[in-house]
Amino acid sequence: MTSHIDWRNTLPKIVACIIVVPALLVPLFTNNPASLSIVILSGIWAVVAMGFTLILWTGQFSLGQSAFMAIGGYTSAILTAHLDWPFWPSFLAAGLVSGIVACAVGAVVLRVGGFYFSIITLALGEIVRIIAMQWQSVTRGTRGLVTYPPETISLGFINIDFTASTVPWYYFMIVLVAFSGLIYWRIGKSRIGGTFFSVAANPMLAEHQGIHLMKYRVIAFTVAGVFTGLAGSFYGHFLSAMTPYTLGIQESIQVMIMSIVGGISSLVAGPIVGSVVLYNLSQFLQRLNLEGIHPVVFGGAIVCILLFLPKGTGLVDLWTKFWKRVYGEVDFYELPEDMEKDIEVH
């Protein structure tokens, strides 16, 4: 019976599940809001890092993803605080508005070369922050906007009360990460992922093969904008307040580093690994309360990781390399199965 199982593909997946399943059951082990918060925020950063990686897959480095978090966060904060909207529509609106802004900005800014684009996104992050500080009438400036948790959801026999404990937030995060992960994963595996690759790897060649470069760059930037906006909205409501201080250049850079350390060749697992590892490390170091230890160890650790990983890879690549060593090739692009057999027969 066991000979029918394709061990090459299934064993890694089984091992992955063994890691993932306990993650879903974490709240059973600890109810401590502080610990849960750390995991929750890791998840949020993972979603943002996925966006960074997607944009990277079209050959651009965006150093301003925190701007979209802020846009999303402020959108839902303004809708709930000023216009008395309920949470869920505001949450979705946050993603929508963020996406629209990303599309509009991207259409203009992605035309310039890669390096200049990065600097512009950096500047954009700052500009959004400054607008948040100065537009007192809407954002209440430095005092920030108070954000309320989602309304209690009653499912007949249980009430999911977001004010009572952190656990509902945890599962909300899981759903968000899983949903985003699924969409990003699907984009990466599909034809669109291949098109992104060609735009990044060799834009001149891609263009001569009929690919409209700007279109795909803007698509990636917009999708990243939508999910980053959702993440930002979650972030704002989870932290009970939306202020101009929480999201700036630091955070954009953090996201970039999470993506790189996790592995830029991976759209979902890489950001998750990178964000979990780095965010937890960061929190751990901050709690040690030693002067300067956080930046020193954090910065030093990242440099070490970058030095000792094989050139151009991240932590997730260690996983794929391990299985490669055990089994042989791992594929990149979907081929219909009968075509593979067709090739092998010859």
Query: Does residue 211 contact residue 198 with C-beta atoms inside 8 Å?
Result: yes
Binding status of residue 182 toward other proteins by CB under 8 A: no
Binding status of residue 156 toward other proteins by CB under 8 A: no
Binding status of residue 220 toward other proteins by CB under 8 A: no
Binding status of residue 286 toward other proteins by CB under 8 A: no
Using CA of residue 256, residue 58, residue 48, residue 139, what is the dihedral sign?
positive
**Near other proteins by CB under 8 A: residue from 292, 325, 328, 341:** 292
CB-nearer residue toward other proteins: 25 or 345: 345
Binding status of residue 1 toward other proteins by CB under 8 A: no
Interface stretch with other proteins, choices 31-39, 69-77, 136-144, 205-213 (CB under 8 A): 205-213
Place of tokens 């199982």: 5
Q: Which two structure tokens, joined as six digits, stand for 184?
A: 């990003």
CB-nearer residue toward other proteins: 44 or 109: 109
How many Å apart are CA 200 and CA 79, to the nearest integer? 38
**Near other proteins by CB under 8 A: residue from 294, 316, 317, 319:** 294
**Spatial CA neighbour of 43 closest among 142, 137, 172, 152:** 172
**Helix, coil or strand: residue 223:** helix
Which phi and psi (to 5°) does residue 146 adopt? -80, 135
Interface stretch with other proteins, choices 4-12, 138-146, 224-232, 253-261 (CB under 8 A): 253-261
Instruction: Tell the smallest beta-carbon distance from residue 63 to other proteins (Å).
Output: 9
Which residues, numbered 97-136, are part of the site for other proteins (CB under 8 A)?
108-109, 112-116, 119-120, 123-124, 126-127, 130
How many Å apart are CA 188 and CA 200, to the nearest integer? 13
**Near other proteins by CB under 8 A: residue from 4, 21, 289, 338:** 338
**Helix, coil or strand: residue 153:** strand
Q: What b/e string do you get for 234-272 counting C-beta neighbours within 10 Å, with b at 16 or more?
A: bbbbbeeebbbebbbbebbebbbbbbbbbbbbbbbbbbb
How many Å apart are CA 62 and CA 4, to the nearest integer? 45
CB-nearer residue toward other proteins: 126 or 161: 126
Binding status of residue 300 toward other proteins by CB under 8 A: yes
Instruction: Tell the smallest beta-carbon distance from residue 292 to other proteins (Å).
Output: 4
**Near other proteins by CB under 8 A: residue from 293, 318, 326, 330:** 293
Which residues, numbered 60-99, are part of the site for other proteins (CB under 8 A)?
61
